[in-house]
Homo-oligomer: A and B are copies of this chain.
Amino acid sequence: MISDRQTKEREFRKEQIIKAALTVFKNNGIEKATMDEIAKEADFGKATLYYYFSSKEEIFIEILNRGWKMIWESIEPVIHDKDKPKDTFIDALNIIGSLVRNNQSLFEFLFTVPQKMPSSLNEDAHAWKGFQRRMYGVFQGLLEEGMAKKEFPQMRSDILMRAIGGLFHGLFFLGNERKPMSRQTMEEFITTFIGNYGTT
């Protein structure tokens, strides 16, 4: 008989483990994010982690799922405005920007770990993949509508997506400096790089 409180405590402990995993990732990088380290950080025995998660991968997947869910739910409210695709696009980018600013290491995890790990993290079945796909779809859609309205340069939208994705990634995660990029700086870049068309 599992009481309500028990369930909540279980959730809480899972939470702690996830936080510990992110801390270890932040301090040591993904390669050195071992179960031993996470256990130490979470102040649990290693075997206890396996009581809550069936594998290390499951911990990582949980992080990805929660993170991408958050991203999706943050942009979802603004993306339906199809009136001015470019403004909507920039709004959404700015929203993600502030999320990143707020928790740089989480997003570094979300955006870099799947690349670095060929494992099953990337399987389509995972929830986070769905959010990611939806997000890319929305952005690409906005790009295409924006192009139709001449608000963006006329290019193959998939390639433009890659370019903007890379640009965003570069701004936030390249270089040694891990200082957050201010909203102002980011806006400056967005308008400089993709803002010189149509409205604005």
Contact = CB atoms under 8 A, between A and B. Distances in A.
A32 B196 CA distance: 44
Contact of A192 (B155, B162, B189): B155
Interface string A171-193: 10111010001000100110011
Nearest to A29: B118
A175 B162 contact: yes
Contacts of A31: 117-118
Given A32-B118, A118-B32, A192-B153, A174 B170 contact: no
Q: Chain A at the B interface: mostly helix, strand, loop or mixed?
A: helix
A129 to B, nearest CB: 13
Query: What is the interface residue range for chain A against chain B?
Result: 35 or more
15 contacts: A115-B116, A116-B116, A153-B192, A155-B192, A159-B189, A162-B171, A163-B167, A166-B168, A166-B171, A167-B167, A167-B170, A169-B169, A169-B170, A193-B194, A196-B196
